[in-house]
Structure 1
C-alpha cells in the first residue's frame, strides 16, 4: 500500500508519531502488556489518528505485517532449525573451539565479529544473525559473563555490512538512484565499514557488556551440550554420546548459503545491467536457488543429511526440529507486528512529510542526506526503505558529483539509516528476543550500538568528503 496524502501538517504528524512510540513503550514496559498485543493495538490507534481512511486501516495494518513476515518467517524458521542441528550435534561447539583456538579466549568477541563481517557480505542481516546464533551462544556459555560481549560484535557486523556494502539492496539502490558506480561504492565503503564496526560496535560492545549483564538464554537451543556432542534420544528416553562433526563439515554447511546467495546477488546484478540477457533458464535457476529462503532450505536439508542422522533416526530428528520451532512463534509474531507499526507510520505519510521539510533547510548535501535518512529511519524503521527513499529525494541535487563523492554520499545515507533502531524496526525485535533482552535493555544496548555505528560511519564520510 502506497503512502496516503498526509491528513495533517508535519508538526502534527510528528507529534502523533512521538505519542505512538511513547504509548507503545508505556504499555510494554510499565503496564507489562504483551509486546505483540501492544504493537497491534498502537498500530490501529496510530492509523486512525494519522488520518488513514477507516476503510483502508485493515489494509495498512496487514501490508506491513505481511511484508515483514514474508521476509522474516521463513528465514527465522529455517535458520533456527539449522541452528538447533548445529547445536545438538556438537557442530557449533567444534566451530567455537576452532575460533577460540586460533584467536584465544580474550579475542573471541573480535573473532566472532570478523567472521560475521565475512559471512554477512552476501547475506541479509536477519538470515546471518539466526544462522550465527548457536555459535554466539556456544562461545558465550563457555566463557560466561554477559552475552553482549559476544552477541553485539557479531550482530553489529551483520548490521554494518547490510547497511553500507553492496551487494545488499539498500546501498545498491541508493547508488543506482544517485547514478554512482557500484564497484566504487563497494571499494570506498568496505574500509569505512570495517573502521566504523571496530569503533562503533566492537569497542562500544565492551563497554555495554560491562554495564549490562545479559545471561545466555536457553529459549531457542535448550541446555548446553558437552564437547563430545551428547544428545538425548527420543526412543525410550535413553542418552547416547554422538561424535561431533569435523570442522570441515561445519564450515562446508555454513558455506552453502554463502555460495548460493552470492550466485543470486552476482547474477541478479549482471542481469540488471544488461551483461547477461534475460530468458537464460540456467541463470534463472541459479538465481532461484540463491534466493535466501531457498538457500537456507537447501542448507537445512544438507544439515539433516550430515548432522541429523548422526546417531538419530529421521523421526527423532524431525521431532527435534519440531520442538525448535515452538519458541520462535512469539518472535515471528512480535517481529511482524513491529513491521506493522513501521508500515502504518510509513503509509500515514509521517516520514515523507518530515523529510520534505528537512530537504528545504538549505543544509550541506552530505549532512542533509544523513538527516533525511535518520528521520526516515526513526519514522518508519526500515533501513533499506530509508536508504532508497533518501537517495531518491536528493538525487536531483547530486547531479555532477564524482563517483567518490557519490560513494561517500551513500555512506552518509546508510549511516543515517542505521542509527536509532527502536520499536518500529523488525531488527530491534529480533535482537531483543534472540538475545533474551527486555525492551528497556534493548534500547540501552542495541539502539545505542546501532547509533554509534551510524555516527562512526558518518564521521568518516564527513572527514573524507572535502578531500575528494
Structure 2
C-alpha cells in the first residue's frame, strides 16, 4: 500500500503505534468494547495522529478492510458450510466411532484426537469441540478414567488445526498480510500441527488424565445437534470429503513446484486449469458441491440450504474482526509506522520470526483473543517482512506459524476458549489453568520451536 504521509520521526511513529495498541487493549479489556469496533476506532485515531490526509483516511481504512475480507471471508464461509453439513449429518460421530473401533479401547484417546484432527480441517475450534464433547465423554464413561485423558487430545487437535492450517481465518489472514503461499502454508501447517498435537496435546493429555481425575461432566450435550442415526454417512464418505480439498490444494502447490523445477511447462492450458482447481477458494467450493450432491438424497436441498445459512451466522464476528485487523494494518502501512518498526527491529538484530512470536504472545496475554493477536501482529510485522531480504516462500510460512504460535500460548481468563473448555468439562478455574492453559502454552511453544529451528536450518 502506498505511504500517504511524509516521512516522520521514527520515534514519534513508534510512540503512536504503542499508544494505539494500549488504546486497543483498554477498549477491549477495560471498557468491554467489541474488538471490531475497537479496531475501527483505533485505526481511525492512528490515521489522524500520523498525519494521513483527511480525504485519504477513510479510503485507507476501507482498502485495508476490503482487501483482507476478499481473501478471508470466502474461505471461512465455505469451510463453515462444509463443517456444518458434516456436523449435522453425523460425520464427526462416524469418524470417532470408526477410529475407536480400529485403534481399540486402549488407544481411544488417540482415536478421538485423530478424528478431531480430521474434523478440525473445515470446522472452527469452538464448534468442533461442542460437537465432539458428547462423543468424548460418552467414550470416557464407557472406558473409564479421567475425562481429561480423552478431552485434551481432542481439544488440542481442534486448537492446532484452527491456529495453523487454512482455511481457518487466522492463518489465512496472516498469509494475506505477509504474502505467503496458501497451498504451501497448508502443507507446512499440517506438518507442524501433527507433531505439535502429539507432544503437546496427546502425551500431555495422558499425563493430565492421570494427575487430574475430574468427575464426568453432566452438562455437555449439544441440544442443537440432533443426528439421525438412520442417515449416518459411511466412514469412507466422510474421509473422502475431508481429504478432497487437501488433495486439490496440494495439486496446485505440486504443479507449481514442478513448473519452477522445469519438469513441466507451467504455462500450458491444462496445467493452468488444474492449478486453478487447486486454489483454496475453488477447492473448498468443489468440496462443498460434492457435499451437497452426497447429502441431498437424505436431507434434501432445502434442508442443506438452511444448514449452509445457519453456518454463516456464528462466523460473522470472526470475519469482521479479521477485516478490522486488516484495516488497522492498512493504516500502519500507509502511515509509515510499519517501516519505522522495520528499522528498529533491523537495528536490534532480532530475527523477524522471533519478533513475530514475541509480539503475538504479548498481545495474546494482554487481551485474550487469538484472532486479534494474530491479525494485529501480522499487520505490524508485514512491513518488516517486506523489507527483509532473502526470505523464501517457506520462510514466510514459518513466520505465519510463529505468529499463530504466539497467539495460541497462555490462554487464561480473558480467552473465550478457556471458559468454553472449563464449562464443557465442568472444571474449576484452577484446574483449567493447570490443564488447558498449560496445554495451549505447550502447543504454541512447540510449534514455534519447530518453525524457528527449520527457518535457521533450511
Q: TM-score, normalised by structure 2?
A: 0.68
Q: Which residue of 2 aligns with 1:24?
A: 24
* Partner SS for 1:309: helix
For the residues of structure 2 that align with 1:38 and 1:174, how far apart are their CA atoms?
Answer: 27
For the residues of structure 2 that align with 1:339 and 1:208, how far apart are their CA atoms?
Answer: 38
Q: Which residue of 1 aligns with 2:300?
A: 313
1:137-180 CA-partner distances (Å, limit 9, x unpaired): 332232357987633433324545679x9xx979x9789xxxxx
- Is 1:88 the counterpart of 2:91? The answer is no
Mapping 1:28-427, distance limit 5 Å: 28-103=28-103, 111=111, 128-130=121-123, 136-144=129-137, 150-157=154-161, 159-160=163-164, 195-199=195-199, 223-226=224-227, 228-229=228-229, 242-310=230-298, 312-361=299-348, 363=349, 368-374=351-357, 381=375, 393-395=387-389, 413=399, 416-421=402-407
* Partner SS for 2:231: coil
1:376-417 CA-partner distances (Å, limit 9, x unpaired): 767983777788765665536x9xxxxxxx999889756643
The offset of 1:246, in angstroms, is: 0.7
Distance 1:408 1:130, change over 3 A: closer
Structure holding more helix per residue: 2
Distance 1:303 1:317, change over 3 A: same
The offset of 1:303, in angstroms, is: 0.9
For the residues of structure 1 that align with 2:221 and 2:339, how far apart are their CA atoms?
Answer: 39
Alignment check: 8 A CA contact 2:100 2:112 kept? no
For the residues of structure 2 that align with 1:434 and 1:299, how far apart are their CA atoms?
Answer: 32
Q: Which residue of 2 aligns with 1:123?
A: none
Distance 1:302 1:38, change over 3 A: same
* Residue-pair matches, total: 404
Distance 1:321 1:119, change over 3 A: closer
The offset of 1:119, in angstroms, is: 8.9
Alignment check: 8 A CA contact 1:84 1:321 kept? yes
1:93-151 CA-partner distances (Å, limit 9, x unpaired): 2112223444568866655655677899xxxxxxx353787654332232357987633
The offset of 1:306, in angstroms, is: 0.9
RMSD: 4.9
For the residues of structure 2 that align with 1:437 and 1:7, how far apart are their CA atoms?
Answer: 48
* Partner SS for 2:406: coil
Runs of 5+ in structure 2 lacking a partner? 138-146, 364-372, 409-414, 423-428
* Partner SS for 1:357: helix
* Partner SS for 1:52: coil
* Partner SS for 2:240: helix
Alignment check: 8 A CA contact 2:116 2:154 kept? no
The offset of 1:249, in angstroms, is: 0.9
For the residues of structure 2 that align with 1:3 and 1:205, how far apart are their CA atoms?
Answer: 49
For the residues of structure 1 that align with 2:355 and 2:128, how far apart are their CA atoms?
Answer: 37
For the residues of structure 1 that align with 2:89 and 2:395, how far apart are their CA atoms?
Answer: 46
Distance 1:114 1:16, change over 3 A: farther
For the residues of structure 2 that align with 1:357 and 1:350, how far apart are their CA atoms?
Answer: 11
Distance 1:157 1:76, change over 3 A: closer
